[in-house]
Structures are given as structure tokens and as C-alpha cells.
Amino acid sequence: MLQQINDWWLSLESRERQLLKLMLGFLALVLVYLLIWKPVQTSKLEAEQKLKASQQEWEWLNQQVPLVKQNLTNSNAPKRSNLTTQNSLLQKLQTSLRKQKLFKQIKTVQGIKDGGRVSFDEVKASRLMKWLATLEREGLVPSKMQMNSIGVDLVKAKVEFTLSK
């Protein structure tokens, strides 16, 4: 095989050999550009863009630090729930579940020692979080929570609340 290629090469005119050498050199440059230079440059550009975005985010976060500190020092202590009986707690939970239209998704609402528990077999995670946020604004924060994902935006959940003392 090499002998045939060598014979073919020798059969070419010197001008043809020079043109083939130039063409092979050009092809080698194109391959180096396409396989090495361009991917490296593209990666470098993407990395620079990510760095710039990260730096902008870092600057924004640093600008937010004084505001957060100010809000923490200016804000009053978190609102506390004044529910002292299990019945009042369970009633509050059921009322808020109805308001948030989660009452039909409840598996159980039950009293437990020093509080109450709400269980869901299947509930939208976003609606559950909205309900919990509403309760938190009213001073009622869960003492224990267990959630298992069962699908996109669907969870199985148990949420426990403890009475204020």
C-alpha cells in the first residue's frame, strides 16, 4: 500500500506535489482551528460570561447585606401564636386549611401531645408551602415536618404543631 502511494507521489509533477503540500498544510490548519482553537475560545468566552454573571450577582448580594442587617435589627421579634389549647389549635388549622382550599386533600387532622398534626397523602407542594407561610405570618410555625415527593409539585406530608406555653 505504501509502495503504491509512493509510486503515485513520484509520478506527480513537482508543481502538483507543491500544490498538494500546500493543500495538506491548509487542511491541517483548518483542522487545528476547528478541533482545538475554536472549542478552546468558545469555552473561554462561556467561562468569562459565567464569571461576569457571578460577579454581578456577588455585587448585588453585597449590596443587599446592609438592607438585610437593617431589617433584622429593625424587625420586632417574630409574632408568636397565642393558642394555648389543643382545640383552639386544631380549629385554627382547620380554618386555615379551608381558607387555602386544602381541606379536601387532608388525610387526617389529629391532636397529639402538646399540639396537633396534619397529614396529607397527596397535596401540591406549592399550595402546602403557601399555607405554611400564611400560618407563619400569623405566628404559627410547625415544630416538625416530613415531606416526600411523589410527583411534580406533589408531596406526601405530615406537619406537626406545638402549643405555645
61 vs 102: CA distance, rounded Å: 36
For cell 429593625, the residue is 74
Q: Are 143 and 114 in contact (CB under 8 A)?
A: no
pLDDT for 77 beyond 50 = no
pLDDT for 76 beyond 60 = no
Average pLDDT, the chain: 88
150 vs 165: CA distance, rounded Å: 36
Query: Of all residues in the chain, what percent carry a pLDDT higher than 90?
Result: 50
pTM assigned to the model:
0.51
pLDDT for 118 beyond 90 = yes
Least confident of 51-55, 64-68, 142-146: 64-68
